[in-house]
């Protein structure tokens, strides 16, 4: 498996596998409280433990499902977090399975946050609303469900049979045909006629699959805790300082210019203007970023090799290379047509207060 799925880690973050195809356990007394709080009381003593783990959700994006209804069903449980580009690129398939296989089949999403801002329910709801996911999403802010599955990856997919046993799993992107075949096999075991396979997947926008053949850039974290590709003498130093970007960057290096403060999870621009520069090779460039204060949006100008990106602009960028950052999420800055070669993207922040978290590529 090519080392490319959101890094395996116990959230916060940690190093680990990226796959081609990408922080505390609730105590025993906390579980019943959480279950009662979200209307999931009354679990049977014989309820399978992985289904029972869903009762430890800290909330639900929409109406909590009746977990008792999962008895006797094949259940697909998928872990993700809304800034994970690898998770976003799996959604066309998971969405399709949820709509195609309805008899004795259910899909449940588990949102285990990586960044602190992903813990806020209003942020999660705002980010997921455009995705039109036809299945319930559990909030796992305490990582209780994550730990119950002994999970390590975003995204991660587990398929449970009608007795609640994990019969298959897949970490990262890809493996879609095998996962669907497992769903069909388990439904057949449960007495459900095979029927038609899911319709061909229509993929567009942020969910479009990466150009794996040309992708040569790894995920890059933009904070003091994990700044492996930071191009600066002395490395990433926590705290406030003035940075000067070098005249030239090597492939897969990034740099800052201006006055920034590096924290463990993000880096924040103190005074405008400021620049973030990266040398990369990929069709797509994404940046997880947002304003420090939601009431103070940040204006940004994107350039590619010192020129407006033009037809290479990403979904969030205007034809003039400008965008206004209003919320904390993954923003697509570049989507290149044609041949892919090493290039330099420059993000110029015209207002102070921007927080940058990570580059991802596709």
Residue 273 tokens read as 């203007």
Average pLDDT, the chain: 88
Q: Is the pLDDT of residue 274 over 50?
A: yes
* Chain segment 299-340, per-residue pLDDT in tens: 999 999 999 999 999 999 998 999 999 999 999 999 999 999
Q: Is the pLDDT of residue 18 over 70?
A: no
| Domain regions of the chain by residue span | 30-207, 220-361
Predicted confidence at residue 259, as pLDDT, reads 96
As a CATH number, domain 30-207 is 3.40.30.10
Predicted confidence at residue 45, as pLDDT, reads 52
Q: What is the pTM of this model?
A: 0.87
Q: Quick check: 54 and 39 in contact, CB under 8 A? A: no
Average pLDDT for 28-57: 59
| 235 confidence band (pLDDT: 50, 70, 90) | confident
Predicted confidence at residue 19, as pLDDT, reads 36
Q: Is the previous residue joined to 179 through a cis bond, with omega within 30 degrees of 0?
A: no
| 194 confidence band (pLDDT: 50, 70, 90) | confident
Report the C-alpha gap between 134 and 91 in whole angstroms. Answer: 11
Q: Write the CB contacts of 320 (distance below 8 Å, at least 6 apart in sequence).
A: 308
Average pLDDT for 256-263: 96
| 137 confidence band (pLDDT: 50, 70, 90) | very high
* Chain segment 149-177, per-residue pLDDT in tens: 999 999 999 999 999 999 999 999 999 99
Residue 358 tokens read as 């990570």
Architecture category of domain 220-361 in CATH: Sandwich (2.60)
Predicted confidence at residue 352, as pLDDT, reads 97
How many C-beta atoms lie closer than 10 Å to residue 203's C-beta?
13
Q: Is the pLDDT of residue 41 over 90?
A: no
Predicted confidence at residue 284, as pLDDT, reads 98
Q: Is the pLDDT of residue 38 over 90?
A: no
Predicted confidence at residue 6, as pLDDT, reads 46
Residue 72: burial class (beta carbons within 10 Å; 0-12, 13-18, 19+):
exposed
Average pLDDT for 244-270: 96
What percent of the chain has pLDDT above 70?
Answer: 87
**Which of the pair, 39 or 258, is modelled with greater confidence?**
258
Q: Is the pLDDT of residue 263 over 80?
A: yes
Query: 301, 281, 284, 278: which is closest to 337 by C-alpha?
Result: 284
Alpha-carbon distance values, 300 to 28, 202, 331 (Å): 47, 31, 11
Handedness of CA 27, 29, 166, 89 (dihedral sign): negative
Lowest-confidence region among 8-12, 181-185, 271-275: 8-12
Predicted confidence at residue 197, as pLDDT, reads 81
How many C-beta atoms lie closer than 10 Å to residue 69's C-beta?
9
Lowest-confidence region among 27-41, 89-103, 275-289: 27-41
Predicted confidence at residue 354, as pLDDT, reads 98
Q: Is the pLDDT of residue 16 over 80?
A: no
E strands, the chain, where? 59-60, 74-80, 105-111, 137-139, 156-160, 166-171, 220-221, 239-243, 254-262, 267-269, 274-280, 284-291, 298-304, 322-325, 329-335, 343-349, 354-361
């Amino acid at each position: 498996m090519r080392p490319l799925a959101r890094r395996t880690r116990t959230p916060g973050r940690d190093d680990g596998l990226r796959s081609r195809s990408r922080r505390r356990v609730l105590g025993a007394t906390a579980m019943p409280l959480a279950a009662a709080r979200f209307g999931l009381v009354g679990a049977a003593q014989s309820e399978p433990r992985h289904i029972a783990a869903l009762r430890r959700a800290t909330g639900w994006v929409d109406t909590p499902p009746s977990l008792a209804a999962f008895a006797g069903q094949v259940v697909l449980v998928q872990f993700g977090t809304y800034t994970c580009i690898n998770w976003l690129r799996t959604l066309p398939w998971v969405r399709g399975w949820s709509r195609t296989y309805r008899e004795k089949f259910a899909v449940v999403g588990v949102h285990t946050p990586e960044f602190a801002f992903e813990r806020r329910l209003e942020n999660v709801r705002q980010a997921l609303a455009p995705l039109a996911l036809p299945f319930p999403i559990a909030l796992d802010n305490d990582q209780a469900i994550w730990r119950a599955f002994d999970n390590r990856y975003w995204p991660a997919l587990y398929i449970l049979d009608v007795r609640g046993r994990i019969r298959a799993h897949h970490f990262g992107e890809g493996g879609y045909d095998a996962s669907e075949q497992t769903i069909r096999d388990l439904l057949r075991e449960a007495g459900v006629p095979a029927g038609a396979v899911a319709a061909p997947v229509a993929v567009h926008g942020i969910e479009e699959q990466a150009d794996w053949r040309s992708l040569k850039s790894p995920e890059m974290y933009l904070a003091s805790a994990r700044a492996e590709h930071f191009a600066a003498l002395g490395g990433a130093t926590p705290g406030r300082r003035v940075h000067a970007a070098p005249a030239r960057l090597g492939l897969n290096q990034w740099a800052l210019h201006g006055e920034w403060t590096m924290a463990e999870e993000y880096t924040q621009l103190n005074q405008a203007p400021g620049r973030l520069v990266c040398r990369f090779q990929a069709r797509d460039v994404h940046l997880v970023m947002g304003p420090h204060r939601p009431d103070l949006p940040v204006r940004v100008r994107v350039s590619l090799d010192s020129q407006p990106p033009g037809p290479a602009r990403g979904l969030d960028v205007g034809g003039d290379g400008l965008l206004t950052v209003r919320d904390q999420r993954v923003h697509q800055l570049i989507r290149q047509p044609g041949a892919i070669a090493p290039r330099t993207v420059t993000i110029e922040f015209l207002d102070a207060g921007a927080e940058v978290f990570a580059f991802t590529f596709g």
